[in-house]
Amino acid sequence: MDQASQAASQANVSSANVETIDVDAVNKKEERSLYKARVKIYPKRAKGVFRKLKWLVMAATLAVYYLAPWIRWDRGPNAPDQAILIDFPARRFYFFFIEIWPEEVYYLTGLLIIAALGLFLVTSLAGRVWCGYTCPQTVWTDLFIWVERLVEGDRSARIRLDKAPLSVNKIARKTTKHVLWILIGMATGGAWIFYFADAPTLLVDLFTFQAPIVAYSTVAILAGCTYVFGGMMREQVCTYMCPWPRIQGALVDEESLIVSYKDDRGEQRAPFRKNMDWDTRGDCIDCNQCVAVCPMGIDIRDGQQLECIHCALCIDACDEVMTRINRPLNLISYDTYVNHERRAAGQPEQKPRIFRARTVIYAALIAIVGLIMLAALITRSTLDINILHDRNPLFVKLSDGGIRNGYTIKILNKQHEIRRFEIAIEGLENALISVVGQEGTSGLTVPADRLAQFRVFVSVPAANAPDGREDFNFVVTDLADGNRAINDTVFRGPEQ
């Protein structure tokens, strides 16, 4: 700031040159009804700590979304080198050092449980942080509003433009805006598909029209959704479509930090006048800045509302005004209900308690699920055996009186190289084992990263035939490294 403007802002403080905006909260309490046509919201630009924080979060989340598929990760010659890849044709999910087969989808369940508990924890600590900062709907809507402001100007300019009759200027600006929005939408859909195929190859295919039709239709659908959700529907997605606001009401408590208006300090609100006595009135000068910046079209001074996504832009707007009129900051701030009550009772505020039963339980559950998943990942075997015992017939009597059982054995080789296995039996006396189509029992070859299936017959002499059933183990040994997998199964015989 140069000398002159500094002087000017000094002057503003004394004369409190705060613009009072003629704005009505379109979604304010009195105007909510079950069915109503949408009134367009023109969010004004906010400046301040939380706005900066939101820009940073937007940059970070968008960067992760767009760049993640391009990270390479060397897995050797027989596997894709994309760090994050959902490979539907081969039925594999790759995430850096983790590789998941379809039957291991429980890892995803664990991940979703952690994500849900994480949301619970954050919400009980600081309200709808997810909604206000990181939800894709918020991030993309913010991006779309930024583009809108760039093309059409800030709130008042946009209102003027919408009211103005059709002109070349208006058409040009509106067209530019929509074209930019559609481009962003296409880039959004375009980035999505890179998670499902080798990104560099797909990028070339995409622009040379070699990519599969499903790639183009996915891009089109997601581009359409992004355009409609971010450009047209915006706050309606949160208010009417999303179940999360309803759930979150049950997740906050009286100690959660929630964006709220200190009505004990702000009321009675009254317009600003020079040389007035602050002791006989509240700090709120009814300038409506908090309403003008709200992307949800609510008035935070009405109290806690389902529509509020806790984006904290009203805090920025109000703090700016408070600075100008030289009053203490935080008339709107992250505040707890406990403190609200304490102030009303004339007690001093207390620091919000972070460690309370609710948050400790959430954190503990996250730790438990995380540890279970970690243990499962660390002990994950690259060799899995599935054994199917023949149901029909359960057993076959042979001409020498012996009993034979048939098994289908599936060997899952989760390494990226061919492996040879030997199969043996543990716990069944005098049993003979034979693999259909193979000489001996030590030539079971399974291709790299594949499943192979073998028919195995096990027979025991009449003298050793079990009465009804007998449990035993198949032992599959990797001939190269001695890695063993032991699976229990059953041998059936006639009941004697």
Partner 1 sequence: MAHNVEKDDVTGIETTGHEWDGIKELNNPLPRWWLWTFYACIIWAVGYWVVYPTWPLISSHTKGMIGYSSRQDVVDKIAEAKAAQAQYLDRIEVASLADIRADTELLNFSLAGGKSAFAVNCSQCHGQGAQGFVGYPNLNDDDWIWGGTPEEISATIHYGIRSAHDDTRYSVMPAFGKDGLLERQQINQVVEYVLKISGQEHDEATASEGQTVFAEQCSSCHGDTGQGLHDLGAPRLSDAIWLYGGDRQALRETVTNARFGVMPDWTNRLDEATIKQLAIYVHSLGGGE
Residue numbers at the binding site for partner 1 (CB under 8 A)? 35, 390-393, 396-401, 404, 406, 436, 457, 462
Shorter beta-carbon distance to partner 1: residue 95 or 457:
457
Kindly report the backbone phi and psi dihedral angles of residue 261, in degrees, each rounded to the nearest multiple of 5, phi listed first.
Answer: -95, 130
Least Å distance, CB 225 to partner 1, is 18
Q: State the minimum distance, in angstroms, from the CB of residue 38 to partner 1.
A: 13
Are the C-beta atoms of residues 277 and 292 closer than 8 Å to each other?
Answer: no
Q: Work out how close the CB of 317 gets to partner 1 at its nearest, in angstroms, rounded to a whole number.
A: 35
Shortest separation between residue 208's beta carbon and partner 1, angstroms:
31
Q: How far apart are CA 323 and CA 331, in angstroms?
A: 11
Lookup result for tokens 């609710």 = 358
> Which C-beta is closer to partner 1: that of 246 or that of 391?
391
Nearer to partner 1, 37 or 250 (CB): 37
Longest alpha-carbon distance in the chain: 114
- Of the pair 81, 390, the CB lying nearest partner 1 is at 390
Give long-range contacts, CB 8 A cutoff, 24+ apart: 369-375.
369/110, 369/113, 369/114, 369/117, 370/114, 372/110, 373/107, 373/110, 373/111, 373/114
How far is 255 from 17, CA to CA, in rounded Å?
37
Name which of 197 and 425 has its Cβ closer to partner 1. 425
Quote the least distance from Cβ 397 to partner 1, whole Å: 6
486 with 386: CB under 8 angstroms?
Answer: no
- Smallest distance, partner 1 to C-beta of residue 35, A: 7
H helix intervals, 387-467: none
Nearer to partner 1, 83 or 387 (CB): 387
Sign for the CA dihedral angle at 443, 444, 450, 454 comes to positive
Tell me which residue of 316, 239, 272, 291 sits closest to 24, measured CA to CA. Answer: 291
Choice between 239 and 248, CB closer to partner 1: 239
Which ranges of 86-198 does DSSP label H, i.e. alpha helix?
106-126, 129, 136-152, 155-163, 168-193
Shortest reach from residue 17's CB to partner 1, in Å: 42
Nearest distance from C-beta of residue 42 to partner 1, angstroms: 25
- Of the pair 100, 460, the CB lying nearest partner 1 is at 460
Pick the closest to residue 369 from 54, 114, 63 (CA basis): 114
- Residue 174 to residue 176: CA distance in whole angstroms: 5
Least distance in Å: CB of 393 to partner 1?
4
Do 173 and 218 contact (CB within 8 A), yes or no? Answer: no
Closest to partner 1 by CB, 303 or 393: 393
